[in-house]
Amino acid sequence: MIFNRFLKGAALAIVIGVSSVAMVASAGFAQSVDAPMPPAAKPDPNAPVAEPEEEIINLLDREPEPLFSDILAPYAPATAATHGVSNGLRQGALYLMAKLTQDSTPLDDGLIWRIYSETTNADGRLELVATSEGGDAEFRLDPGTYLIHTAYGFAQATNRIVIGKEVLSKMVTLNAGGIKFNASLKDGDSINHEPISFDIYGMTFDARGERDKVASNVKPGSIIRLSADTYHVVSRYGDVNAVVRADIQVLPGKLTEATVLHKAADITLKLVNERGGEAIANTTWSVLSPGGDVVVEATGAFPDFVLAAGEYEAIARNNGRTYLHKFEVASGEDNEVEVVTTMSELASQQGTASN
């Protein structure tokens, strides 16, 4: 959102600049017609020299910073849990730091560093040489070529490095941001306490036509760290058909808050002998769409579902008999739907007689 405002502001500045240039040109043209321009005043050689103004740097025009760059940093990393690192005079020293964007400060927590040997083992896999968790990290490594895997939540980066017997300091720019999900109903009422979950997918499809799943079963209010990109998000309210899909962009160094609007309600079904009566146990249920497709099935006296807003038909089977009842689900209006045996039997008998 902030980034979008910046783009709009930049565009507006360009329009104003063009307009100003046009106005000056018009004024000059008018003066050249009416009268010649007077000569400019002779500059004063004794006038003080003005300090040069600082150049305004356009963030969109500057050169991008390498995602894996050298840094001038004291060789004294913060405390971190480092495993698999051995010390030796013949080894090289590697000091690593990471940040979200070019302009952000280095991260001091939440990072996972993994160092892999570039050569594979007998199983054909890269050999894990060392790991570290926390913020910045220090490693002592034998001379050779390694792969550095940096993870910050679901934001990841892999870089290659050649280690000698010297001291190297590197900065990893993750180019990452975050996203926070919420969900609401038609009146803006939060449904974060309900069975809401979010799945995050990439935008590309594999050979089977499926998207690559990045994160699953994310709960409302959770902050997910992701590489800056556009993601396909699927929000599920319950386990049936209340599903909302959206494409959401994650900006580097920004937290995107996304609220998904669900049009659904919680429905409880009951088979009763009369309105307001006791529910009949051992009932088998099927809920159909207007087109006759089965939406959900269950067995019990009080089956409970979250259904998307729309029209449905409930089919209750008990003791060898079948009862039908049409009902409607309104968004945000949880309801108890009663299927009455006597009314259903009467309607069924009338339908049979008419046929």
Token pair of 351 as six digits: 């339908």
Q: What is the model's pLDDT at position 90?
A: 80
Q: What is the model's pLDDT at position 41?
A: 63
Nearest to 279 by CA among 287, 288, 290, 268: 268
Nearest 5°: the CA angle 166, 169, 175 is 150
Report the alpha-carbon distance of residue 334 to residue 244 in Å, rounded: 19
Q: pLDDT, tens digit, for every residue of 87-128?
A: 545 889 999 999 999 889 999 999 999 999 988 888 888 999
Q: What is the model's pLDDT at position 287?
A: 97
Task: Walk across the sheet containing 144-152 and list its strands.
Answer: 81-83, 126-134, 111-120, 144-152, 155-163
Walking along the chain (355 residues) 10 residues at a time, the average pLDDT comes out as 36 28 32 50 62 48 63 54 53 93 93 92 88 94 94 94 92 95 82 85 89 94 94 95 95 94 95 92 96 96 95 95 95 93 55 44
Report the alpha-carbon distance of residue 355 to residue 349 in Å, rounded: 10
Q: What is the model's pLDDT at position 347?
A: 52
Q: What is the model's pLDDT at position 122?
A: 81
Q: pLDDT, tens digit, for every residue of 289-340?
A: 999 999 999 999 999 999 999 999 999 999 999 999 999 999 989 999 999 9
